[in-house]
Amino acid sequence: MTTLGIETSCDETGVALFCAEKGLLAHALHSQVDLHAVYGGVVPEIASRDHIRMLLPLIQQVMSNAGIEKPDAIAYTAGPGLVGALMVGSGMANGLALAWDCPVVAVHHMEGHLLAPLLEDEPPEFPFLALLVSGGHTMLISVRQLGDYEILGTTLDDAAGEAFDKTAKLLGLGYPGGPLLAALAEEGDDAAYPFPRPMLNKPTLDFSFSGLKTAVMLQVRKAEAAGELDACRKDIAASFQRAAVDTLVGKAIKAAEQQDLNRIVVAGGVGANRLLRAEIARRFAGEVFYPRFEFCTDNGAMIAVAGALRLAEAGASEEIRAQARWSLDTLTVPAAT
Ligand code: KG4
Ligand code: ZN
């Protein structure tokens, strides 16, 4: 049973072929990051056009690499995301399914991120706590089984990745800033500036990053006024990263303890952050699981694996979907067909 996975929710065109028996057969990714870099953020119209340009060649490449002429099923990201970008993947998936006469399944982008560690050799078993940290989301989720998700905490303002990106912009780093800031932080002193750990000591499992962002902004202005920004940049980056990571790790461990869960899955683009990985491993007594680095950020493989599971348990989707807003906790446990 092979499933073709298609991801086009934002600025990466991701395609993969997943086989229920043999695992991942092939995958390909095209990042649009250079196209959007000049604008300092993703331009939806440009994203959709580039998905149109790249999607079919990537599908052909993946099928040919795997030596397969026709998959048994197709899974595509149906939301949440940029609606024009989603429509490209959805249209392609549903058109190919019609031509190939195979089932097609609509996948929730965040469910894809949650299930990405299942692609690894030693996947986590249910139940687990998920820390989902990407450019658009920051969530703590109790994952009891496929489709049974309870959101325990979310961000009240910026997402974790957005906080990294905006701080990087304040520091005059390039786009997307998260990985650049993380690299610079490795050279800096993370105790140089005592930035706030927003809401860390409050009982809620929600996050807020705007106070931290403002504290960094004030520090950057002060350093600029003193003509010292170049000298301070790496220390500000390291101190910001330390504050953000302390907050994420502290809340994730608190949530796991409250829910009596001894497994944590870290997923989403910020899950690629090395300090986050090191800190959670150091402080959490249970097991921690991650997708491999390349599957932390958006990709087709996570959509293929999530689609294959949904299809096996619930069968094909009946409607063509492209849904910009779609809350993860509206998903349900698939009813067996
Ligand atoms: O999951 P993802 O690829 O896309 C969304 O669905 O948002 O996550 C992208 C986000 C960006 O904000 C990027 O700056 C951040 O993940 N990111 C990182 C790192 N690598 C990517 N943030 C911190 N440290 C990193 N190493
Ligand atoms: Zn994502």
What is the DSSP track for 240-304?
Answer: HHHHHHHHHHHHHHHHHHHTT--EEEEESGGGG-HHHHHHHHHH-SSEEE---GGGTSS-HHHHH
pLDDT tens-digit series, residues 28-58: 999 999 999 899 889 999 999 999 999 999 9
pLDDT tens-digit series, residues 213-251: 999 999 999 999 999 999 999 999 999 999 999 999 999
pLDDT given for residue 215 in this prediction: 96
Q: Is 108 helix (H, G, I), strand (E, B) or coil?
A: strand
Split into its structural domains, the chain has a count of 2
> Cα(66) to centroid of ligand 2, in Å?
25
Q: Which ligand is nearest to the CA of 108?
A: 2
Per-residue tokens: 196: 């706030």
74 and 136 assigned to the same domain: no
Candidates 132, 164, 280, 326: which one to mutate for ligand 1, based on the most atoms within 8 Å of Cβ?
164
> Cα(111) to centroid of ligand 2, in Å?
10
Give me the percent of the chain exceeding a pLDDT of 70: 99
Give me the chain's average pLDDT, please. Answer: 95
170 inside domain: yes
Atom of ligand 1 nearest to the CA of 274: 26
pLDDT given for residue 284 in this prediction: 98
Residue nearest to atom 8 of ligand 1 (CA): 269
Atom of ligand 1 nearest to the CA of 177: 14
Instruction: Name residues contacting ligand 1 (CB within 6 A).
Output: 10, 134-136, 161, 164-165, 176-179, 182, 268-270, 272-273, 297-298
255 inside domain: yes
pLDDT tens-digit series, residues 189-206: 999 999 999 888 888 999
**Residue 117 carries which DSSP code?**
G
β-bridge mates for residue 132, sequence order: 139, 267
pLDDT at 101 over 60: yes
Q: Which ligand is nearest to the CA of 137?
A: 1
The Cα 162–Cα 296 span in angstroms is 16
109 and 76 assigned to the same domain: yes
* Alpha-helical regions (H) of 67-148: 83-100, 109-115
The CATH number given to whatever domain includes residue 243 is 3.30.420.40
pLDDT at 103 over 60: yes
Q: At what angle do helices 177-185 and 160-170 cross, to 10 degrees?
A: 70
**Residue 155 carries which DSSP code?**
B
281 and 301 assigned to the same domain: no
Phi, psi of 330 (to 5 degrees): -90, -10
Task: State which residues form the domain around 240.
Answer: 126-290
Atom of ligand 1 nearest to the CA of 268: 1
What's the pLDDT band for 336 if we cut at 50, 70, 90? low
Q: Is 143 helix (H, G, I), strand (E, B) or coil?
A: strand
